Structure 1
Amino acid sequence: MLAPPVALHAVAPPALAAAWAMLREALLAPGAVERDVREVVAAGVSQVNRCPYCIEVHGSALAGLLGGADARAVLVGGLAELRDARLRRVADWAVHGGPPPFPAEHAPELVGVFVVFHYLNRMVNVFLPESPLPPVPTPVAAALRRGAARLLGGLARTVVVPGEAPGLLPPAPLPADLSWAAGRPHVSAAFARAAAAVQAAGERSVPTAVRQLLAAQLPRLDTPPPALGEPTWFDAAVAALPVPDRAAGRLTLRIAFASYRVTDDDVARVRAAGYDDRALVELAAWSSLAAARHLGARALPGPATR
């Protein structure tokens, strides 16, 4: 299914291929980790990024895979209420971090899902509505969620062949910050090639000063942001940019640090600065993946355990 979170990249074909390759090889292709565990990571990361669209989709997929009380808990946003202790531990890691509750050989798939959803959540928060479901009364919405769980759970059981997506992009070396992917060739190829494609897109569409600014600020992702308002450093960081780059800088920082706070005005300012559809998507893709890669590189702070 070429779902909207992937299709929104269509105006920028290399970014489209990158998004699809990462998603397909980390989440959809079979491997050492069961699909329900991977869907828990997707849903947990989506909660962290306040992405209601992805919470709806991947919570429904997880509910469709699980059934029973755990399915009902997921549909009302209750990952912490999962009865399956294995899934609950993975959900807690995806949301709160800490030592990974899985063996090292599972890292390529689980950190891969972690990274691709930190990426996709940001893109979805910028470009898509809050829900894939139509606005309907609460009783109807509950029925729609049950139907979505059946549909998406069935789709999640579809078996695909690992390693077919990376061929959409040219070969590239695996960067050091993606070394967690090295144990699974189809995952490492997808992320290495995607990283190269998105980096090229950023060099094409994101001003050098803005790329340098975000690179310098990324370590701030390691500490929780303020609950309300812009962080204290934000406006000063944007003001330090050359005037022509400030609109792009503001949007880039917001995507990386709080994509749920991106406004129509943020996007309109970038368009007024001369960005067409492709350049806008490439800027968002570069910002999103820069943040996701940084977070992924810090997702394994201690030894993996079963």
Structure 2
Amino acid sequence: MTGPFLYTSPQSPASATGVVADVYAQVSADFGVKDAPTFVALSASPSLLTSTWALMRESLLAGRASRTGKELVAAGVSLANRCPFCVTAHAVLLHATGDHRLAEGVLRGEEPEAPGDRALLAWGRDMRGPWPFPADEAPEYVGTTLASHFINRIVSSLLSERMLPGGAERYRLVRRTAGRSLAGTVRREVRPGASLPLLRADGEAPAWMDDGPVGTAYGALLTAARAGEELLSEEDAASVRASVAGWDGVTPLPLRAELPSRAQRPGARLALLAARAPYRVTAEDVAAWRTPASTDHCLVHLVAFGAICAVERVEAILRMTVGEPI
């Protein structure tokens, strides 16, 4: 495949089998998007694919919290992470909820008129403040936040910025029409937990997330994404974790920040960029690390390791804002 995939060659969804085909079918039914590039990009690793989909589905699509509210949080995260693909995608999904003015305002960088909407978008951009949602909806909103931070990094590292062929998403009419095509799916109730039988990784849910579907999915993603650490030396993995540990969860990596050498430590460089500045990953960065033995499976796992380091740092900051346990 070509299209939006910059450094990988995923198998055509039409030829997918097994759990990969099952995920594609569930994405189409519950998300309303056939062959969504975000998930096709992860298809080389069933454990990453299933856990990423499960976390997004169980937090953003299922549950009782407002879908509009969760889309605003996801859009705020995507704005903070400089992921135009994801910002546009969430604007289209806001169109699908019927909030057309809100959707376009988010894309233009405007503050929503309603105080509640404004607070949710702002919290998504900087989650270090008080939660603008009820405590009993925390698993859905926090799960949406963590899923968005992970997905933003996968998308920015591995996909082009264009959401639709030819960049058609830049036209308001196209965005609104795309939203209308998804309206029926977005407004339909999604049964919690249906993605969990697809998981191909096990992991312990954080105590604050209890043992619900969101926590189960997040635990699986932690296990699947941490596996990419094995692609680095102990020293390089530790350096990535140390850099992320000192990050405030919001501020972009300074342009003048010292990065691991592309020539001598390309894996550490690629993982660190995926964690803290995925929009700065280049073809040269990927080529410097990749060898003939490095498959698409290896590349998505290395990027996922950097991404999950950032997600775990965000989770730690969220815990600190209210005190443990959440």
Query: What TM-score, normalized to structure 2?
Result: 0.80
Equivalent residue number for residue 118 of structure 2: 88
The equivalent of 1:221 in structure 2 is 247
Distance of aligned partners of 1:75 and 1:224 in 2 relative to their CA distance in 1, 3 Å threshold:
closer
Match of 2:294 in 1: 275
Name which of 26, 32, 39 aligns with 2:64.
32
Which one of the candidate residues 154, 175, 190 is aligned to 1:145? Answer: 175
Equivalents in 1 of 2:158, 2:263: separation in Å?
A: 26
| Residue in structure 2 matched with residue 264 of structure 1 by the alignment | 283
Once residues 318 and 224 of structure 2 are traced to their aligned partners in structure 1, the CA distance between those partners, rounded to angstroms, is 23
Q: Is the 8 A contact 2:65 2:137 kept in 1?
A: yes
1:156 aligned partner:
186
Query: Gaps spanning 5+ residues in structure 2: where?
Result: 1-27, 29-34
Which structure features the higher share of helix residues?
1
Question: In the alignment, which of 108, 113, 135 is matched to residue 139 of structure 2?
Answer: 108
Match in the other structure for 2:209 = 181
Stretches of structure 1 lacking an aligned partner (at least 5 in a row):
none
Quote the residue 1:197 is aligned against: 224
Aligned equivalents of 2:276, 2:253: Cα separation in 1: 12
Distance apart, 1:164 and its partner CA:
1.9
Quote the offset at 1:300 in angstroms: 4.7
**C-alpha distance in structure 2 between counterparts of 1:170 and 1:274, whole Å:** 24
Question: In the alignment, is the contact (CA less than 8 A) between 1:253 and 1:287 conserved in 2?
Answer: yes
Residue 120 (str. 1) matches residue 154 (str. 2): no
Confirm or deny: 8 A CA contact 1:57 1:132 kept in the other structure: yes
Matches of 2:249 and 2:99 in 1, distance apart?
36
Query: Alpha-carbon deviations, 1:125-159, whole Å to 9, x = none?
Result: 01111121233689x82221111221234332232
Determine the C-alpha separation between the residues in 1 that align with 2:177 and 2:168.
15
Rounded to whole Å, the distance in 1 between the matches of 2:283 and 2:132 is: 39
Q: Give aligned-pair identity as a percent.
A: 33
Q: Pick from 311, 318, 325: which aligns with 1:292?
A: 311
Q: CA deviation at 1:211?
A: 1.8
1:33-76 CA-partner distances (Å, limit 9, x unpaired)? 11111111111100011101001111110132143532442353
Distance 1:153 1:180, change over 3 A: farther
Q: Give the residue type in structure 1 aligned to 2:223.
A: A
| Secondary structure of 2:191 counterpart | coil
Structure having greater relative contact order (Cα 8 Å, sep ≥ 6): 1
Write out per-residue CA displacement over residues 84-106 of structure 1, whole angstroms, 9 at most, x where no aligned residue: 22121111111122111122222
Taking structure 1 as reference, are residues 225 and 43 closer, same or farther at Cα in structure 2, changes over 3 Å only?
closer
Query: Is 1:45 the equivalent of 2:77?
Result: yes
1: distance between equivalents of 2:274 and 2:141?
A: 23
Q: Report the counterpart of residue 43 of structure 2 in structure 1.
A: 10
> Are residues 136 and 17 of structure 1, via their aligned partners in 2, closer, same or farther at CA, if it must alter by over 3 Å?
closer
2:89 aligned counterpart, secondary structure: helix
**Using a 3 Å threshold, how does the CA distance of structure 1 residues 216 and 227 change in structure 2: closer, same or farther?**
closer
Q: Does 1:61 align with 2:93?
A: yes
Q: Is the 8 A contact 1:247 1:269 kept in 2?
A: yes
Letter in 2 for 1:197: A
**For the structure 1 residues 89 and 279, does the alpha-carbon distance in structure 2 shift closer, same or farther, using more than 3 Å as the test?**
same
Find the aligned partners of 2:240 and 2:189 in 1 and give their Cα distance.
38
Structure 1 residues 263 and 196, CA gap change in structure 2 (3 angstroms): same
In structure 2, the CA distance between the partners of 1:118 and 1:226, relative to structure 1 (3 Å rule), is: closer
Instruction: State the TM-score, normalized to the length of structure 1.
Output: 0.85
Equivalent residues of 1:46, 1:117 under 8 A apart: yes
Which aligned pairs between 1:247-258 and structure 2 lie closer than 5 A? 247-258=266-277
Checking the alignment, whether the CA contact within 8 Å between 1:180 and 1:297 is kept in structure 2 is: no
Q: Aligned pair 1:20/2:53, yes or no?
A: yes
Query: Partner amino acid for 1:57?
Result: A
8 Å contact 1:166–1:193 — kept in the other structure? no
Cα distance in 1 between the residues matched to 2:254 and 2:208: 33
Code of the aligned partner of 2:156: N
Give, in angstroms, the shift of residue 223 of structure 1. Answer: 6.6
Within the alignment, does 1:99 sit opposite 2:130 as a pair?
yes
- For 2:4, the equivalent position in structure 1 comes to none
